[in-house]
Amino acid sequence: MHGSGWWSYVKYDEEQDRPKVDRALLRRVLGYARPYRGRLALVLGTILVISLLSLAPPLLMRALIDTAIPAADLALVTALGLGMVAVPLINGVIGVVQRWASASMGQGIIFDLRRQLFDHVQRQSMEFLTNTKTGELMSRLNTDVVGAQQAVTSTFVTLASNIVAVVATLAIMLGLEWRLTALAIAILPFFLLTSRSVGKKLRLIRRRQMEERADMNSLMQETLSVSGALLAKLFGRIDDENARFSGQASEVRELAIRQATIGSWFFMSLGVVSAVGTAIVFWVGAVLVIEGALTIGTIVALSAYLQRLYGPLSSLTNTRVEFATSLVSFERVFEVLDMPRSIEERGTPIVLEAARGRVEFERVSFAYGAAGVEGLESVRRYAWSGMTREDEPDARRRSDGWALRDLSFVVEPGETVALVGPSGAGKTTLTYLVPRLYDATEGTVRIDGHDVRDLGLTSIAAAVGVVTQETYLFHDTIEANIQYSRPGASPEEIRVAARAANIEDFIEGLPSKYDTVVGERGYRLSGGEKQRIAIARVLLKDPRILILDEATSHLDAHSEALIQEALEGALENRTSLVIAHRLATVLEADRILVLDRGRIAEQGRHESLLADGGLYASLFHTQFRPAERRTALGS
């Protein structure tokens, strides 16, 4: 509802949105507070003590007016005055304890929710991640988790405090003067009507706020990253991106204004109801004092208790609104937690103690989206996130819906197999089935005779190393980026891996050497340098199976030669699947698989495939031979 006014927004809410609070949801919400029940009990205990102590001042005031002053008892006046000072002092000390217990419980809940969400998302398949905006996930992990925590701590504590205050205050007031107390209670339905009306309006606004903020976070994350900022500068789109951000931020602003406006009307209504109730009680009380039925001290005490009654009643009414809107945060958190994971370990997974490196595809077919995995409900397909540009988008555009179809082949331990084919043939998709980033839609992928779905994910990760075309480095030191594959590796082992990857001389020539920070996504390094660090990272891991997207076409001849030399050492004595971009790799491969539209069109050695005059021969003349000529000219 862009620019349609807040009343139409409210009308939509009345017609469409109904707060759905059931016992199952509440049990699940309260389940996150269960580990902190000791601190919760402490909070409840302090609430009870503070509420009871807060009832004392009006009684002390009544005694002062009706007893101490008429009797001219200075000792009693002094004692009552000290009592009025002692009550807030004691309450303040107890309040500090309450705040510690509440904050400790709240931050614990935030930690638990964030850890659970992060773990759940980390274990999702690539299909989920490619269908979800990073900014949206960040919003769920930050804004929504904090909102959910507030529902358990702030809202719950307020609710408990106000219930105790209302019950205790009513009990005292009934003991003082039941008729005036009955009048004070008579306006309670007006509080409830106000709450019911406003609660529905704020609930939808709260959800829309979260969604719009998540979209704004996504926009900032995309455009302020190095890649996004570079793209905007190169294409002169800075003003356009500013306008796009301004539009998104203005929507967030308008929703905040709507929420504040409705909230102001709400509190004004509660204030008017409280004022009317107080005026009625005072008028009737004054009449009773004039008639001699009540003392002035009792009226003064009752007036103080009215504030103690209407304040918590107003807060209770608002608590209902806050609780209804806070549940939206939990709903959005649970949306993520309840999303099924398509890549799961079976019962007791098999552990590969010493992988030999045999890879087998048996009648494997794969279609994106076949597992029913989608991103978050409010997210649409936005980025391919990690897939190479030539494979994944083209595969999804295939008219038959299959990225791979009926693949059967075996790679023996130590064998190097080159994967070639036109763009969109399914090469990268094939390699992503081995480390189980995706599961085959049909057929079986095996490592050392075991179905990868029966293997532990940690075992697969230990046995399979991958160097992707799009090299990703963390905004950290070179040493930390190499060590990422083996956190316990010694500095000497890191240097051995760097030496094997032909990157050690470059690193030693830097002022900070291995402590050099590479920048976001490694933008301070060249493409060849990043790739050699990625090779060093996988060599440090020392996997038995190596999957490599040998993307060297965009590098200069010197960098390409260094990488090729590093790859020769990396491929030695390992089972290797290489997406080949260079003729040298194809010539040195033990076997070549030629993919076309997700199927194996041809396979064999270079000479025999060239002699057959099929697809490989065509690729050789149009792709590999011209590339080799360009390399030779560049050198």
DSSP structural state of residue 350: B
Comparing CA positions, the residue from 172, 253, 153, 169 lying closest to residue 205 is: 253
Q: Using CA atoms, how far apart are residues 243 and 237, in angstroms rounded to an integer?
A: 10
For 203-224, what is each residue's pLDDT tens digit? 678 778 877 877 787 777 777 7
Cα 278 from Cα 379, distance rounded (Å): 51
Percentage, residues of the chain above pLDDT 70: 81
Read off the pLDDT of residues 67-113 as tens digits, 9 standing for 90 and up: 888 888 888 888 988 988 998 899 899 989 988 888 888 888 888 88
pLDDT digits (tens, 9 = 90+) for 549-575: 865 545 556 666 777 777 776 677 789
pLDDT band at 407, cuts 50/70/90? Answer: very high
Q: What is the pLDDT of residues 434-479, one digit of tens each?
A: 999 888 999 999 999 999 999 988 888 889 988 887 778 888 898 9
How high is the pLDDT of residue 18? Answer: 42
What does the angle CA 589 – CA 595 – CA 601 come to, to the nearest 5 degrees? 100
The pLDDT tens digits for 11-51 are 333 333 444 455 777 788 778 888 888 888 898 899 889 88
Q: How confident is the model at residue 374 (pLDDT cuts 50, 70, 90)?
A: low
Q: What angle do CA 177, 182, 185 make, to 5 degrees?
A: 125
* Gyration radius of the chain's alpha carbons: 35
pLDDT band at 249 (very low <50, low <70, confident <90, very high): confident
Rounded-to-10 torsion of CA 392, 393, 399, 400: 20
CATH class given for the domain over 359-367+386-468+545-634: alpha beta
Please give the backbone phi and psi of residue 17, each rounded to the nearest 5 degrees, phi first.
-105, 125
* Contact status, residue 604 vs residue 591, Cβ threshold 8 Å: yes
Query: Average model confidence (pLDDT) for the chain?
Result: 78
Strand duo 442-447 + 359-366: pairing: antiparallel
Q: Is the pTM of this model over 0.85?
A: no
> Are 358 and 411 contacting, i.e. CB atoms less than 8 angstroms apart?
yes
Percent of the chain having pLDDT more than 90? 11
Q: How confident is the model at residue 195 (pLDDT cuts 50, 70, 90)?
A: low
Tell me the average pLDDT across 423-444. Answer: 90
Q: For residue 557, what are its two tokens?
A: 């001849």
More confident residue, 569 or 352: 352
- CA dihedral (472, 475, 478, 481) positive or negative: negative
Give the Å distances, CA to CA, from 544 to 355, 447, 530: 6, 11, 23
Q: Is the pLDDT of residue 168 over 80?
A: yes
Q: Sorting pLDDT into bands at 50, 70 and 90, what band is 360? A: very high
Q: What pLDDT sits at residue 358? A: 92
Q: In CATH, what number does 22-337 get? A: 1.20.1560.10
AA identity, residue 568 = E
pLDDT at 631: 46
404-411: strand order across its sheet: 404-411, 359-366, 442-447, 450-451
Question: CATH 1.20.1560.10 spans which residues of the chain?
Answer: 22-337
Going by pLDDT thresholds of 50, 70 and 90, the confidence category of residue 493 is: very high
pLDDT for position 232: 73
pLDDT-based confidence at 3, cuts 50/70/90?
Answer: very low
Quick: pLDDT tens for 580-617: 877 777 888 899 999 998 899 999 998 888 888 889 88
Residues of the chain with CATH 3.40.50.300: 359-367+386-468+545-634
Instruction: With a cut of 80, say whether residue 352 has pLDDT above it.
Output: yes
Contacts of 281 (CB under 8 A, 6+ apart): 180, 183, 184, 302, 303, 306
Angle subtended by helix axes 145-152 and 74-122, to nearest 10: 140
- Fill in the amino acid letter for 155: T
CB-CB contact of 109 with 151 (8 Å): no
Predicted confidence (pLDDT) at residue 382 exceeds the cutoff of 90: no
